[in-house]
């Protein structure tokens, strides 16, 4: 457990652990941020309900392994549940954690199912003075929400660079590995879209029906909502571009296959008549009139050559051999 206590009388910010809870309970003017880390579910549940009066339904949702993002107002506090990136996520192949925020008039309690870089960043900025120490718990909670959203941005921007490289690779050196990567990326982006859509809907509802504990923080709510909308727009754009690339890859593959089949068909059409001619005069009948001609062999070769030239010229005139557009 980590805690930060702000005393307006001394205008000082103090860091500590569970010992700051007692001081916060004695002085009604102080505010506190408690970050629960590596605590057992029983300890967390007891602390949240006994010390901060958190509703059991909110505690139950916070302790679940999986739950959609939500903002739920209660009489004395507001419960915010987010799905953020875990500490090891640096690409679209990411893991997620549940980040719970309990916002009261004098307190902010955060609880995560794993290490949260967003929470650590805001905690560091607060203790270093980058964030004003007298910031309200509600404003601090919304800053944390913005930090959770911000972690998706580098992942999405990296997709743009990779899309450009994949487009070049698709045209120059297509491979099954590239198609597999496109399929994986499309699935990962769909997952990002689903997470961001959940958050965007939740904060859109919070803006239209602002919980009491978040009242007066319309600008911060709008900032989080706008960032989520930007991220959602980027994710949707890259999803569509990935889908277009995948369809383009399949179209190019089909076109190459058609060209191969066309070449094989042309070769077959050329050799069928001359094979037929060779087959006739290769039969072992004793009486075949043409076999008595002195120049019969050369006449047959000339006929075969004429057939080949005629077929090739016909195919070329129709544009099937390249060199001119196909005739309509």
What per-residue confidence (pLDDT) applies to 93? 84
What per-residue confidence (pLDDT) applies to 327? 58
- Tokens for 265, please give them: 């068909």
pLDDT single digits (tens) 56-108: 999 999 888 888 999 999 988 999 999 999 988 888 888 999 999 999 999 99
What per-residue confidence (pLDDT) applies to 324? 60
Q: Which fold has domain 254-317?
A: Methane Monooxygenase Hydroxylase; Chain G, domain 1 (1.20.58)
What per-residue confidence (pLDDT) applies to 323? 58
What per-residue confidence (pLDDT) applies to 247? 92
Q: Please give the full DSSP string across 45-91, using - where no structure is assigned.
A: HHHHHHHH---HHHHHHHHSS----EEEE-SSEEEEEEEEE-TT--S
The residue among 220, 236, 90 whose CA lies nearest residue 151 is 90
With a cut of 70, which residues of the chain have pLDDT below it?
284-286, 322-328
In the chain, CATH 3.30.460.20 covers 2-251
Query: pTM of the entire structure?
Result: 0.80
Tell me the CATH number of domain 2-251, given options 3.40.50.300, 3.30.460.20, 3.40.50.720, 3.40.50.1820.
Answer: 3.30.460.20
pLDDT single digits (tens) 211-255: 888 988 999 999 999 999 999 999 999 999 999 999 998 988 888
* DSSP-based three-state secondary structure for 327: coil
In the chain, CATH 1.20.58.340 covers 254-317
What per-residue confidence (pLDDT) applies to 299? 84
């Amino acid at each position: 457990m980590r805690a930060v206590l702000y005393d307006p009388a001394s205008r000082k910010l103090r860091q500590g652990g569970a010992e700051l809870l007692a001081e916060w309970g004695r002085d009604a003017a102080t505010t506190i941020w408690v970050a629960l880390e590596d605590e057992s579910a029983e300890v967390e549940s007891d602390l949240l309900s006994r010390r901060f009066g958190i509703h059991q339904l909110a505690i139950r949702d916070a302790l679940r392994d999986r739950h959609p993002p939500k903002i739920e107002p209660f009489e004395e506090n507001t419960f915010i549940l987010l799905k953020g990136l875990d500490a090891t996520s640096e690409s679209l192949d990411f893991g997620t954690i549940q980040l719970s925020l309990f916002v009261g008039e004098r307190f902010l309690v955060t609880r995560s199912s794993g290490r949260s870089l967003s929470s650590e960043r805001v905690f560091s900025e607060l203790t270093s003075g980058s964030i004003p120490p007298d910031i309200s718990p509600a404003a601090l909670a919304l800053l944390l929400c913005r930090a959770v959203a911000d972690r998706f941005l580098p992942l999405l921007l990296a997709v743009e660079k990779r899309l450009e490289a994949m487009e070049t690779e698709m045209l120059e050196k297509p491979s099954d590995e590239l198609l597999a990567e496109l399929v994986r990326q499309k699935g990962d982006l769909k997952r990002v879209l689903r997470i961001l859509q959940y958050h965007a809907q939740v904060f859109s509802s919070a803006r239209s029906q602002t919980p009491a504990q978040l009242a007066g923080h319309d600008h911060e709510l709008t900032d989080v909502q706008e960032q989520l909308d930007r991220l959602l727009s980027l994710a949707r754009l890259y999803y569509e571009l990935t889908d277009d690339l995948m369809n383009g890859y399949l179209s190019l593959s089909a076109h190459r296959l058609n060209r191969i089949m066309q070449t094989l068909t042309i070769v077959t059409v050329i050799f069928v008549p001359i094979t037929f001619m060779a087959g006739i005069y290769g039969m072992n009948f004793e009486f075949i009139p043409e076999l008595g001609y002195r120049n019969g062999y050369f006449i047959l070769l000339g006929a075969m050559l004429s057939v080949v030239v005629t077929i090739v010229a016909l195919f070329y005139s129709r544009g099937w051999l390249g060199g001119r557009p196909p005739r309509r």
